[in-house]
Amino acid sequence: MGERAFRVEQILPWLHQRGTTDFAAMTNIGKALAARLAECATVAAPEMASEQRSEDGTRKWVLRLADGNAIETVFIPEAERNTLCISSQVGCALDCAFCATARQGFNRNLTAAEIVGQVWFAEHRLRAERNAPDRVISNVVFMGMGEPLLNLKEVGPAIRILLDDLGYGLSRRRVTVSTAGVVPAIDRLKEAAPVSLAVSLHAPDDGLRDRLVPLNRKYPIAELLAACRRYVGTDARRRVTFEYAMLAGVNDAPEQARALARLLRTVPAKVNLIPFNPFPGTSFERSADAVIDAFRDILLASGLVAVTRRTRGDSIRAACGQLAGVVKERSRRVVPIHAS
Ligand code: SAH
């Protein structure tokens, strides 16, 4: 092993496993290297601007970045896993009709350090609170603000640290990238880091999906599903999760459930039905529970795996699609979507 790799192996566990911020405390790297590092590097996570807790144990942090922007990160404790939901961009450029982040516009991509910094911050804060050295976060999902596959350049290296044994040591199954459907980047993700894939589908046909998820005009459903099949490949254990926000009177009719079931026959799929989470200024409404149950039952009867995602953190606006952060100088929405 070269000197450089050896040093990296020494330093990474201090940073990510112990949460050390002071190079001088890294006792095995030697004083000279510690001093050199202190001159050219700092260890700092995004700074906490606020913290909110909901009755169900969900926590939402607003984290301030060095440039004054702020992002949101959500911790979701469950009996069998503790999930951290992280952001990949400041705001989002995709403009999905039913998402609060879209209203914020887009400012910039997060760096790999800012992405990993969210995990670092949450893990070490929670561990300190619990006063126990045990690892707290077991799963990480890229389901916060932003479109991770429009920032794969930074998301890729961040994932590698999450997976590395010297970093957070998470298995590939326990890291999920969620995308609105950036088709070429799905293939690149497979090359870079084949973690679990979730796709925000929300509609069973292109006409409706064009309106709900404008990116569909560029990458329509057939191309998206083909990319999903390539992603899963021949690995019989893998499945793509399809997210489907239940919007009253828009995408929740029984015939739409049947159309969805037909559509997903050719992909190893699991469907997550997400009851729509309202936010100020939206005109969409959540489907009634009975409607969601009926929709799910049609999917189940067709042989699909389908679950209704329990809404978590609703009272603190930490639920899916409610993250807004503080986005400065929002640029116009500038995704290269060319309606054909
Ligand atoms: N841009 C990525 C990552 C965001 S994940 C993506 O689109 O997948 C957040 C998930 O919550 C997505 O499936 C998104 O479509 C969904 N969502 C957005 N707004 C919502 C809302 N108001 N209620 C429920 N789900 C919502």
Give the CATH number for residue 6: 1.10.150.530
Q: Which residues are catalytic?
A: 72, 320
The two three-digit tokens of residue 13, written as one number: 């566990």
What is the atom index within ligand 1 of the atom nearest the CA of 243?
13
Choosing from 98, 109, 317 the residue with most ligand 1 atoms within 8 A of its CB, the one to mutate for a pocket test is 98
Choosing from 85, 195, 200, 240 the residue with most ligand 1 atoms within 8 A of its CB, the one to mutate for a pocket test is 200
- How far apart are the C-alpha atoms of 12 and 38, rounded to whole Å? 15
Ligand 1 binding site (Cβ under 6 Å of any ligand atom): 96, 98-99, 143, 147, 178-180, 200, 243, 245, 274, 276-277, 320-321
Domains: count for the chain: 2
- 32 and 53 assigned to the same domain: no
- 154 and 25 assigned to the same domain: no
Cβ atoms < 10 Å from Cβ of 23? 21
Give the residue, by CA position, lying nearest to ligand 1 atom 8. Answer: 179
- How far apart are the C-alpha atoms of 299 and 305, rounded to whole Å? 7
Which residues span the domain enclosing 34?
Answer: 1-43
- Residue 144 CA, ligand 1 centroid: distance in Å: 8
CA torsion angle 320 240 227 179 (round to 10): 10
What is the atom index within ligand 1 of the atom nearest the CA of 282?
22
pTM comes to: 0.94
- How far apart are the C-alpha atoms of 63 and 204, rounded to whole Å? 36
Over its length of 340 residues, how does the chain's per-residue pLDDT go in tens digits?
688 888 889 999 999 999 999 999 999 998 999 999 999 999 988 999 999 999 889 999 999 999 999 999 999 999 999 999 999 999 999 999 999 988 889 999 999 999 999 999 999 999 999 888 789 999 999 999 999 999 999 999 999 999 999 999 999 999 999 999 999 999 999 999 999 999 999 999 999 999 999 999 999 999 999 999 999 998 878 899 999 999 999 999 999 999 999 999 999 999 999 999 998 899 999 999 999 999 999 999 999 999 998 877 777 787 777 888 788 877 644 444 443 3
The two three-digit tokens of residue 43, written as one number: 């260890």
- 281 and 210 assigned to the same domain: yes
- 56 and 1 assigned to the same domain: no
- 26 and 167 assigned to the same domain: no
Q: Return the exposure string of 88-111: e unless at least 16 CB atoms fall within 10 Å of the residue's CB, then b.
A: bbbbbbbbbebbbbbbbbbbbbbb
